[in-house]
Structure 1
Amino acid sequence: MIIIISPAKNINEDISFDAKQLSNTRFENQTNELLSRAKKLSVKDLMSMMKISENLGQLNYQRYQQMEVPFSNFKLLPALKAFNGAVFQSINVGGFTDEDWKFANDKLRILSGFYGLLRPFDGILPYRLEMGTKLDIGKHKNLYQFWDMKINNLLQNDIDTNGDNVLINLASNEYFKAVKGKELNARIITPTFKEYKDGKYKMIAIYAKMARGMMSNFIIKNKLSNPEEIKLFDTEGYSYNDQLSEGDNWVFTR
């Protein structure tokens, strides 16, 4: 069982970790190609393309200008600890044991516009490049075309290595689109999370992000191997809703 999640826009550089545990990212050539393209962008280009403020435009311009290959010459950060958003805060790696980290490193994957597909201990540099960004790279009109089947093929390898042919999709639609799920040889289970409000169940983005992180934590802390056990997820009042679920689209409500 492999779990996929989306990255966060923010990255926390003030973290403690054992550098000996870091692993190399698996798409270094592609990341270097993206870096070469990003270095040609001005602050205004970044502001317009990413819809960010001038301060964030300056920050990311400086990040890209300072990056050089090999990335190992820089202070790399473990991906799962570095990303800092609602999903990752709810995964709560601060409460992980060594066994939790090992399980997460085997089972959890983070999709990335810049790095492709990350494992928890893969060393990354601070960046901002969302998968939906309309950036042309050579003959490719956007990042979906650039990554094409590369992410899919590596993810398939991870699924095959894991052995049970199951993918738990806890990524956003923007990122899952890069996976090309119909081409995967796997059972894809997609949990969604809804709140009861004004007489009906509806998805509220911030709560859905938090729930994706909480479910990731639930799977990791309980070392789940049977996907049916995910239906026991009950963190923060959520429960599996059989009536709203259909096939492998599992709905959890509260």
Structure 2
Amino acid sequence: MRIIISPAKKMSVDMDSFPISGLPVLIDGAERLREVLRKMSSRDLQVLWKCSEAIAELNVERLRGMDLRRRLTPAVLAYEGIQYQYMAPGVLEMEQLTYIQEHLRILSGFYGLLRPLDGVTPYRLEMQARLRVGNCRDLYAFWGSRLAERLASETDVILNLASREYSRAVEPHLPASVRFLTCTFGEEKNGKVVEKGTLCKMARGQMVRWLAENQITSPEAIKGFSELHYRFSPIHSAENRFVFLRRVT
């Protein structure tokens, strides 16, 4: 089983907590994207990134000095979003770190596919960014089937904890032999399951931590997740969609 999650926009540097295990498997793609981005003007980069002038200036500076092979941070520590805060990788025990290194994969617009301990450097590039690379109209076309092929070579079950922006870079390219199981976290209102962005991110991070703590390798065992007031809902679920409903008190 492989678990896929989204990255986070905000990134930091941490070369002290624990060492990297190697470089991203698709680093050639990242090197190509770096060169395309470096040829763009500061104004065009700000438009591409859809950010403030201050954030654009920070990331333009990062881009100028970007080294993809030295002074790197383990990917799972580099991202600072809510999902990663609830995963709390910095306090995982060695057995749990070993688990996520084997089972967890982070999708990235810039790096493509990351193992938790792959070395990365801060960047800004969302998967849905409208960046033309050669004959490829955007990043979905640039990465094509490479992410799905890599995952399919490792497993026949993918647990999808990624947002739609990122999961659509994988799902359409998977062979029929690979099960693509999506987890939904929501609340029932007027007979419908309603998802809330921040709560979903919290639940996804918490689930990764729970999976690691319990060394879960079976899809059926995932139904036992009951953190943050969520419970598996059989009547709302299907073979390839597990729905977890939050009890509102």
Same fold, TM-score > 0.5, yes or no: yes
CA distance in 2, matches of 1:247, 1:18: 38
Q: What are the within-5 Å matches in structure 2 for residues 153-232 of structure 1? A: 153-159=149-155, 165-181=156-172, 183-184=174-175, 185-196=177-188, 201-232=193-224
CA distance in 1, matches of 2:171, 2:133: 20
What amino acid maps onto 2:21 in structure 1? L
Deviations 1:226-246 (A, max 9, x none): 111110100011000111112
Between stretches 194-203 and 229-238, larger displacement belongs to 194-203
**Kindly tell me: are residues 245 and 182 of structure 1, through their superposed partners in 2, closer, same or farther at Cα, counting changes over 3 Å?**
farther
Q: What are the within-5 Å matches in structure 2 for residues 71-220 of structure 1? A: 71-72=68-69, 74-159=70-155, 165-181=156-172, 183-184=174-175, 185-196=177-188, 201-220=193-212
Mapped contact 2:14–2:77 kept (Cα < 8 A): no
The alignment status of 1:55 with 2:51, answered yes or no, reads no
**Kindly tell me: are residues 222 and 61 of structure 1, through their superposed partners in 2, closer, same or farther at Cα, counting changes over 3 Å?**
same
CA distance in 1, matches of 2:10, 2:34: 18
CA distance in 2, matches of 1:87, 1:78: 16
Partner of 1:162: none
Deviations 1:124-169 (A, max 9, x none): 000010000000011111000100111111111222xxxxx21100
Aligned to 1:195, what secondary structure does the other structure show?
strand
Partner of 1:247: 239
Mapped contact 1:195–1:201 kept (Cα < 8 A): yes
TM-score w.r.t. length of structure 1: 0.92
Partner of 1:234: 226
Mapped contact 1:8–1:85 kept (Cα < 8 A): yes
Shift of 1:247: 2.3
Shift of 1:65: 1.2
Structure 1: state its 5+ residue gaps. 160-164
Shift of 1:18: 3.1
Shift of 1:196: 4.2
Structure 2: state its 5+ residue gaps. none
CA distance in 2, matches of 1:178, 1:201: 25
CA distance in 2, matches of 1:130, 1:29: 18
Aligned to 1:18, what secondary structure does the other structure show?
coil
CA distance in 1, matches of 2:66, 2:82: 27
Shift of 1:63: 1.1
Aligned to 1:243, what secondary structure does the other structure show?
helix
Aligned length: 245
The alignment's C-alpha RMSD in Å is: 1.6
TM-score w.r.t. length of structure 2: 0.93
CA distance in 1, matches of 2:214, 2:172: 26
Mapped contact 1:2–1:166 kept (Cα < 8 A): yes
Aligned to 1:139, what secondary structure does the other structure show?
coil
Mapped contact 1:46–1:52 kept (Cα < 8 A): no
Shift of 1:181: 3.9
Mapped contact 1:43–1:54 kept (Cα < 8 A): no
**Runs (4+) of structure 1 moved beyond 3 Å?**
196-201
